[in-house]
Structure formats: C-alpha cells, structure tokens
Amino acid sequence: MAYDVHIIGGGMAGSEAAWQLARRGVKVRLSEMRGGGDMTPAHQGAGLAELVCSNSFRSDDHEKNAVGLLHHEMRQFDSLIMGAAAVAQVPAGSALAVDREVFSAEVERRLAALPTLEVVRERIDTLPAAGLTIVATGPLTAANLAQSIGSATGADSLAFFDAIAPIVYRDSIDMDVCWMASRWDKGETKDYINCPMTREQYRAFHQGLLDGEKTEFREWEASTPYFEGCMPIEVMAARGEDTLRFGPMKPVGLDNPHDATPEFPKGRWPYAVVQLRQDNKLGTLWNMVGFQTKLKHAEQVRLFRTIPGLENAEFARLGGLHRNTFLNSPVLLDRQLRLKSAPHIRFAGQITGCEGYVESAAIGLLAGLMTGTELCGSTWEAPPRTTALGALLSHITGDAEAETYQPMNINFGLFPPPHPGTKKKQRKEAYTSRAKQDLAAWRAALNNGQMPAHA
C-alpha cells in the first residue's frame, strides 16, 4: 500500500500516532521489528504496545492529579491507549492498571480494523531520507537505527537504566499471613495484597538486598544513571536502612487483621509492608509494587521468598533491567517534534525524553495530530501550556534546560502557576479546572478546519 506517513516503532507512541492518523483516513505504514525476526532485551513477545515494566498507568484522578489529567485530555481525542486500557482494566484502587495481554491484543484489534493502516514486521536500520516520518522506537532502539539517529543529530544520546519488577502467581501467596487493603489504606476498595514484616525481618531483608549478587554492568554501561521514577529497590536500600520504609514498603495505615486483639481490634501496623498489585484481569498474576531490581534471578527467588507470605512464591516473571536512550530534545527538536536538521522526521514517545507509558502515548498522540495538520495544509497551534499535553510538550521541546535534560513524568511543576491568590489546598483543582477549560477551546480550534475529518 502506498502511504502518506511512515511510523517506525509499534510501542505506545507509535501505535497512538498511527491511530490518530489512520482513523482520519491518512494512509500509514507502521513498521515494527518484533515479529519480523528481531527482539529487544526487555520485550516478551511481538504484540504492539507491549507493557514491559509496570502494568499501571498510575493515578486516574483527573481532579487532583497531573497524570490523571493527562488521561482525561487524551480521552478527549479518542486515544487508542486510553480506549484499550478501559477494556483491559484490572482493580487497582484509584490507579488505572491493565491486563497486559488483553491490553496489547485490544490495541492490535483496533489498529487492524483501520483500512488505511498497514502494519509491517520489519526492522528499519536508517532514517528515511524523504517522506513524512515519525520515529517512535522508544528506549530500546535497535543499534543500527540508533547509530543513524546519532549521525543525524550530531550528538550522543543520553542513557539510563529502567528496572523491571517481578510478577508472582496469586495462588502461591499465603493469605493466612497476608491480607487485602488499599495502598496505605486509602479509599474504600481493598485492591492490594500486603505482606507484613517485623523489625527483625525487615533488617534481614534490607541486608539481603545490599549483599545480594547483582547483574554486572558491561563496560559501556558503567556510567549509565537510573531514572528516579524506576529506581531498583537495592539502590534505594543503599541510601539508608529506613529509605524503603518511607517509600515502597511504607506501612502507614495498614492495620494487620491477623494481629487483632481486644485492645487493637483492627490489628497493628507492621514495621514494613511489601505490597502486590493485580497484574491481569483474571487476578492470577500480581506484581511487587516498587520492587524493580537488578538482582540476579536466583538471588531474587531466594531473597523474595524470605518475605512473609511469599515463602512459597512462584514467579511468572523475575525482575531485570533495560537500557533507555533518549534525545537531547530541547536542542535537537523544534516545537513540532521535528528534527531540526531533517524536518520531515518527527520523534515521539520515550525517545524524546518523556517518561512513562501515558506520557509516551501522549507525545505519540500529539505527533499524529501535528502530522495530520501538516498534511492538510493547516497551521499547527500547540496546546496551551496550561494543559497537561501542552506542559509536557513544552518541557520536551524547549522549556527544559538542555545541559541537564532528563526524562520527566507529567507533574504540576511543568505547568504555569495558577492565579497568585489561589489557596494552597485549592491549587491542584485550580490546575485541572483551568486545563480542562483551555483544552476544550484548543480542541474546538482543531476541529474547525485544522485537522482532516475522522474516517
């Protein structure tokens, strides 16, 4: 099929960009190397938009949370990723978590139904010399293409490690020791499994994290830093004995019903808690929240089975790490995500330096809208910086300091401050209400002729 736009990479950003274009009748070729004989160190299969780290899209609260607001804004554009997440959703309290396999299958099903989209399983080794292109190859860009990108940008890409958390089979968890409760006992639902630890058990576990045999770095990886939002648990442990107790193993509010007494009928707080979150719709798989790790696999099995309730745990997947590469986008890309040295090429997703599933998909959504606007000969107007989409785009394409540019999740720190008179308790609602109003006006302008009509 002849095509108008070539999208390289079938992850979150590439799939979303393809959806936004093809559903408007634009002819798209989507190239994905997995399924064509190639694989990455982190992916398990060939499914489009495969989730390789957590199965959570984080908070879905669009009234007080920046990522929840981003969810809301993407839904206003009939986001593929948000639509598939709704189909694949599993219980996770106020968070939006999904069954990985159902989610990927739904993405593929929806894309396959678009008559102007062709998915081709092929590896692309060089940047196209001509033609509208969106590169959305993510943090695991194949070596040849990464080299081609490096040649085009004239600068070395930055890199860090993302670590992957283990997944446990639900029926191997001892519920006579563990119990169900919401995260830190917030909310009415009880969506998390809690494994309690005494002071002595926690200290032994902490020491085990420090002493456990770790994955060795290759020479070229030695200076690669970690992204704070996906820090391996043993790296956090090395920062101090109590770091984990104030982080992913925080016990506050989690009364252990197994320890209930007449004096404490709800039970007492344990010294520390390991929490697990449902990972699939069947409820058979649960991931260890915050337990990204670079421990060797045998060491993980040995150490994690010392956690009360997980003595007989069976693991569907053990933790690991993958290398993440991204562009110095404030220097290399213009305000429309185009490579300044080759403006027929746009970049989208994590390779631009955003972090997170939702953020990656959001930049793919914007890249699709930008490209569609260009095809129909209209002038692109960026989303207001007061919106989540606009704040994230502005950070990537110029607001961030190029010298210290690092991957960033969406957060209210990227937004212009609300009205100076806004009270502290009302600031989050002020951010979100302003964003919704401004997004509605911007979306109306797009629908008034700047974008081609839906197919």
**Contact at 8 Å (CB) between 254 and 182?**
no
Binding site feature residues for FAD: 9-14
Give, in degrees to the nearest 5, the angle at Cα 209 between 206 and 210.
Answer: 90
The two structure tokens encoding residue 336: 């429309």
**Contact at 8 Å (CB) between 364 and 346?**
no
Q: Angle, to 10 degrees, between the axis of helix 199-211 and the axis of helix 297-304?
A: 170
What is the dihedral angle through the alpha carbons of 119, 280, 59, 270, rounded to the nearest 10 degrees? Answer: -150
Binding site feature residues: 9-14
Rounded Cα–Cα distance for residues 393 and 334 (Å) = 11
Rounded Cα–Cα distance for residues 250 and 390 (Å) = 34
What DSSP assignment string belongs to 112-172?
HT-TTEEEEE----S--SSSEEEE--GGG--HHHHHHHHHHHTSPPEEEEEEE--EEEGGG
> What length is written for the chain?
455
